Amino acid sequence: MITSSSSEMFVASPARQNRVTLRKTVISCALLAGALLLAIVLMSLIGSEQLPVRPSLCALASFGTTPCGLTRDQFDILFQIRLPRILLAAAVGGSLATAGAAYQALLRNPLAEPYLLGISNGAAVGTMIALIYFGTIEWTRPVLAFTGALLATFAVYRLARGRAGATPERLILAGVIVTTFLSSVIVFVTTLMDATRIRSFTFWLLGDLSGTSKSLLPIAITITVGGALALTLHARSLNLLMLGERDAFDLGVEVGRVRMVVFLVASLLVGSSVAASGSVGYVGLVVPHLARLSLGSDNRISIPAAALGGALFVIVADTVARTIIAPRELPVGAITALIGAPLFIYLLKRV
């Protein structure tokens, strides 16, 4: 609380301007939330199996309480398979985009992204350990994924800090080092596993939402919403941090505490999404940039906008992944990378 009140004084942002920002945040988030809801409904109507549109809409409107003339199988497809997967896609997308936006602000680096920094790989190693040693205990997966993501975050952060501070190039190099190191750990562990489990792992590593676990879904959604709110509350401090840690400190930001909160929350977001769906890449890069390009770089707007936009992005990407070669499926990570990699190149040229 001290942070925000003191910073208000120093940044000299008049109350009127604050109200404008608030109004802009509310309007853009309301629009995005509307689009997200629309996407959830529309994408529920698309899949490898054809469902009748009107009864499906009616059943969705009743929140699954009345079948509205859908057969038992159609009802199960809609509510047991499609909708949980779409909701998980939303949670994963929201988590990764929020984490990406927060990393970019904190590290003052437009290329910071959970997947590219090796943080997703850290979470993946944690999940693998959970699957191998505690296969039956489901909650160990997000817990160890979170631990892995946190360790990878600290490793990258320490490696990136040079005498000249963490330059974008240094950060990306540190990310490459951590990523490749953890990739070899993953390769080593998969080599020790038997052949049948390898197949499921290689698919999962690319980011795959088909194994939606109903018991992890509520946890993933809670973490996404909670994490996005927590980071939005720190948005003002992140705005000041974008001026540089030194300046932010002079302006009254508790730099160490904010950094710790962002690392913890972002690792939690990445950990829960990786535990649920593997490493879906580039979401944390594409979405925050689009949010900033269209709404400006104020984190009070761009972080919640990235959360909603990320959910939207992965829902659409996963719908493509599950329908483009139906009834076969692609991993959603292949689709997000297909969109994200070219954008990354474009951004790299502008940095």
Partner 1 sequence: MCAFLLATAFACTSHNAAQPEGPIARVLTDDAGRRVSLPVKVDRVISLAPNLTEIVFAVGAGDRLVGRTSYCDFPAEAKSVTEVGDTRTPSLERIIALKPQVVLISTSSQLEIFTQQLQEQNIAVFVTDPHDLDGVFRSIEHVGEILGQKEQAGLLVQKLQERDKAVEDKVKQKPPVRVFYQVSAEPLYTVGRDAFVTDLIRRAGGISVTADVPGAWPKYSSESALATRPEAIILPTGGSMGAANSAVTDALRQSPAALQGRVYKINDDHLARPGPRAIDGIEEMARALHPDAFKQ
Can you tell me the distance from the alpha carbon of 271 to that of 268, in angstroms, rounded to the nearest whole number? 5
Quick one: 53 or 327, whose CB is closer to partner 1?
A: 327
Q: Name the nearest CA neighbour of 90 among 320, 317, 314, 333.
A: 314
Least distance between partner 1 and beta carbon 335 (Å): 14
Quick one: 81 or 242, whose CB is closer to partner 1?
A: 81
Among 72, 163, 349, 350, the residue binding partner 1 under the rule CB under 8 A is 72
Sign of the torsion formed by the C-alpha atoms of 188, 191, 194 and 196? positive
Least distance between partner 1 and beta carbon 127 (Å): 14
Binding mask 297-326 for partner 1 (x = CB under 8 A): -------------------------x---x
Q: How far is CA 161 from CA 104, 117, 154, in A?
A: 15, 14, 11
Under rule CB under 8 A, residue 329 binds partner 1: yes
Q: How far is CA 193 from CA 12, 131, 200, in A?
A: 59, 11, 11
Is 94 within 8 Å of 310 (Cβ atoms)?
yes
Can you tell me the distance from the alpha carbon of 327 to that of 71, in angstroms, rounded to the nearest whole number? 20
Quick one: 113 or 208, whose CB is closer to partner 1?
A: 208
For 257, residues 6+ apart whose C-beta sits below 8 A from its C-beta are none
Binding mask 170-199 for partner 1 (x = CB under 8 A): ---------------------x--xxxxxx
Under rule CB under 8 A, residue 136 binds partner 1: no
Under rule CB under 8 A, residue 76 binds partner 1: yes
Under rule CB under 8 A, residue 68 binds partner 1: no
Quick one: 197 or 246, whose CB is closer to partner 1?
A: 197
Please list every residue from 91 through 120 that binds partner 1, using CB under 8 A.
none
Binding mask 195-224 for partner 1 (x = CB under 8 A): xxxxxx--xx---x-xx-------------
Under rule CB under 8 A, residue 48 binds partner 1: yes
Can you tell me the distance from the alpha carbon of 303 to that of 124, in angstroms, rounded to the nearest whole number? 24
Say how far residue 245 (Cα) sits from the centre of its chain: 25
Quick one: 65 or 196, whose CB is closer to partner 1?
A: 196
**47 DSSP assignment:** S
* Amino acid present at 141: R
Q: Name the nearest CA neighbour of 94 among 226, 224, 255, 286.
A: 224
Token pair, residue 256, equals 């160490």
Q: Which residues in this chain contact partner 1 in the complex, by CB under 8 A? A: 47-49, 72-73, 76-77, 80-82, 191, 194-200, 203-204, 208, 210-211, 322, 326-329
